[in-house]
Amino acid sequence: MNNLNEKQKMLSGEMYDAADGTLVKERQKCKYLCFEYNHIPPSKLKERKALIKRLFGKTEKMFHIEQPFYCDYGYNIEIGENFYTNHNVVILDCAKVTFGDNVFIAPNCGFYTAGHPLDAETRNKGLEYALPITVGDNVWIGAGCSILPGVTIGDNAVIGAGSVVVKDIPANVLAVGNPCKVIKEIL
């Protein structure tokens, strides 16, 4: 018998109940912090940075996150040095989302760790699962990209605008499309 609570199930990649009281409270807290962040005047960079440091699981010294920004929990997000996201980035961090150093993300991108069962009966019970996303060093992600559960993007990769990344992308490549596919190596 599985003795894990719903948060432990979520973090371990098992099916979990997203309506669990603890998870709902944690998401509400995070939503409040995102709301607060998105309403800090753009000129108050120190306040913005301090709030992100409270929200994220790990940050380095140099990062910039344009407003608006949204996430589910915050504590599952880790960013490397010299991290940048443009406007309207969403990170559904039900599982760990890790970004390396020198990662640049264009506007309107989403990183979605949450997945839902194909079986309608199970899905309608509110059950879901979460798989981690890992983005290596020196990665550029173009505008309007969706990165789906369980994906790893290798170092020095470039993901073209509008791509839907459904499986791993190796290092040192340009990849584009829906589904995202490697179109050439970057030397």
Q: Is the pLDDT of residue 107 over 80?
A: yes
Q: Which residues of 12-31 are buried (b: 16+ CB within 10 A; e: fewer)?
A: ebebbebebeebeebbeebe
* pLDDT-based confidence at residue 110 (cuts at 50, 70, 90): very high
Nearest residue to 132 (alpha-carbon basis) of 57, 48, 59: 57
Q: What was the pLDDT predicted at 162?
A: 98
Predicted pLDDT of residue 1:
52
Q: Tell whether the model's pLDDT for residue 35 goes beyond 60.
A: yes
Q: Show me where the domains of the chain are located.
A: 16-185
**CATH class of the domain whose range is 16-185:** mainly beta
Rg of the Cα trace of the chain? 17
- Contact call for residues 143 and 106 (beta carbons, < 8 A): yes
> DSSP readout, the chain?
-----HHHHHHHTS-EETT-HHHHHHHHHHHHHHHHHHTS-TT-HHHHHHHHHHHSSB--S-EEEPSSEEES-STTEE--SSEEE-SSEEEE-SS-EEE-SS-EE-SS-EEE-EE--SSHHHHTTTEEEE--EEE-TT-EE-TT-EE-TT-EE-TT-EE-TT-EE-S-B-SSEEEETTTTEEEEE--
Name residues whose C-beta falls within 8 Å of residue 66's C-beta, 6 or more positions apart in sequence.
85, 86, 87, 89, 107
**Residues 126-153: what's their mean pLDDT?**
97
pLDDT of residue 151 exceeding 70, the answer is yes
Greater pLDDT, 3 or 6: 6
* Catalytically annotated residues: 116
pLDDT tens figures, 40-88: 999 999 999 999 999 999 999 999 999 999 999 999 999 999 999 999 9
Task: Over range 29-40, report the average pLDDT.
Answer: 98
Tell me which of 122 and 85 has the higher pLDDT: 85
Pairing type for strands 173-176 and 181-185 reads antiparallel
Q: Mean pLDDT score of the chain, rounded to an integer?
A: 96
Could you identify the residue written with the tokens 């996201």?
85
